[in-house]
């Protein structure tokens, strides 16, 4: 630890640039907050937390004839992994808007109405660069580490018991009666339910439920994104004015008599 003449404290660094500079990771059992002066007194605003390490950016834009191209901040791009999520909030009545295309430097938003010019807000969320495999990590890893990747579509879970720290657990304990043994410390379980996965691991490895819960990290298998053509196929088609007029004409001839539907012809 280093304390400079200006009173700055450095942990893991000898050149702290602020009141407290930490090089490396830190953990806290309590809250992390900013202290802000308001007319209601000095208040605490708390940090947003997530199961993985994410950065966020947001903004507002407007469709022009049903389309908008949003350029991402080049500095932000350098701080995150290429895959990112986009959340849209329309700020006017709309038939619907969606992300039609995503690239490293931009994303394109389209409206179901090709003539739409509505404003909307957007929020993007991306994993910090270099931290793709970090999610709900254990504060202390003892004995074993279990990674369970859940395929929610096919209801299958791939389980890996870290071979490097498996300790006294013999690999031949995780071989019996599983759907498919991938290799020495990997099994596939025919379920996507977390409780069932834990129970199956317990039955096949003889590791206690308590130790499994303290050693396991669940992750979700990424779902393949739909292309624009596939997305269009999943959406309900809008009826033309002629079709709507025809339906209206048919309905005008329908009546209910004594509980029966009667269609007048001619």
b/e 46-78 (16+ beta carbons within 10 angstroms → b): eeeeeeeebbebeeeeebeebebebebeeeebe
- Which has the higher per-residue pLDDT, 265 or 208? 208
Residue 176: per-residue pLDDT:
35
Among 51-65, 130-144, 216-230, the range scoring the smallest mean pLDDT is: 216-230
| Fold annotation for 54-128 | Immunoglobulin-like (2.60.40)
For the chain, domain boundaries: 1-25, 54-128, 146-220
Query: Is the distance from CB of 109 to CB of 98 less than 8 angstroms?
Result: yes
Residue 211: pLDDT over 80: yes
Question: How confident is the model over 78-105, as a mean pLDDT?
Answer: 95
Identify the band that residue 164 occupies on the pLDDT scale cut at 50, 70 and 90: very low
CA distance readout (Å), 160 to 52, 163, 164, 187: 19, 8, 11, 7
Q: Summarize pLDDT for 195-205 with one digit per residue, the tens.
A: 999 999 988 88
Q: Summarize pLDDT for 36-90 with one digit per residue, the tens.
A: 999 999 999 999 899 999 999 999 999 999 999 999 999 999 999 999 999 999 9
Residue 129: per-residue pLDDT:
95
């Amino acid at each position: 630890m280093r304390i400079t003449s200006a009173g700055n404290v450095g942990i893991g660094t000898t050149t702290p640039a602020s009141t407290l500079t930490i090089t490396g990771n830190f953990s806290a059992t309590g809250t992390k907050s900013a202290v802000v002066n308001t007319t209601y007194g000095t208040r605490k605003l708390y940090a947003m937390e997530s199961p993985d390490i994410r950065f966020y950016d947001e903004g507002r834009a407007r469709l022009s004839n049903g389309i908008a191209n949003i350029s991402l901040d080049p500095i932000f791009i350098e701080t995150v992994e290429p895959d990112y999520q986009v959340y849209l909030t329309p700020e006017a009545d709309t038939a619907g808007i969606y992300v039609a295309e995503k690239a490293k430097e931009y994303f394109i938003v389209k409206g179901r109405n090709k003539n739409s010019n509505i404003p909307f807000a957007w929020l993007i969320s991306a994993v910090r660069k270099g931290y793709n495999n970090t999610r709900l990590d254990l504060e202390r890893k003892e004995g074993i580490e279990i990674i369970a990747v859940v395929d929610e579509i096919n209801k299958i879970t791939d389980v890996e018991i870290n071979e490097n720290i498996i300790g006294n657990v013999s690999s031949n304990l995780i071989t019996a009666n599983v759907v498919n043994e991938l290799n020495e410390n990997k099994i596939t379980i025919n379920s996507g339910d977390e409780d069932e996965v834990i129970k199956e691991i317990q039955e096949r490895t003889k590791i206690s439920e308590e130790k499994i819960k303290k050693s396991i990290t669940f992750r979700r298998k990424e779902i393949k994104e739909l292309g624009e053509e596939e997305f269009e196929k999943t959406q309900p088609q809008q009826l033309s004015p002629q079709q709507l007029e025809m339906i209206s004409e048919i309905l005008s001839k329908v009546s209910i008599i004594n509980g029966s539907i009667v269609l007048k012809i001619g």
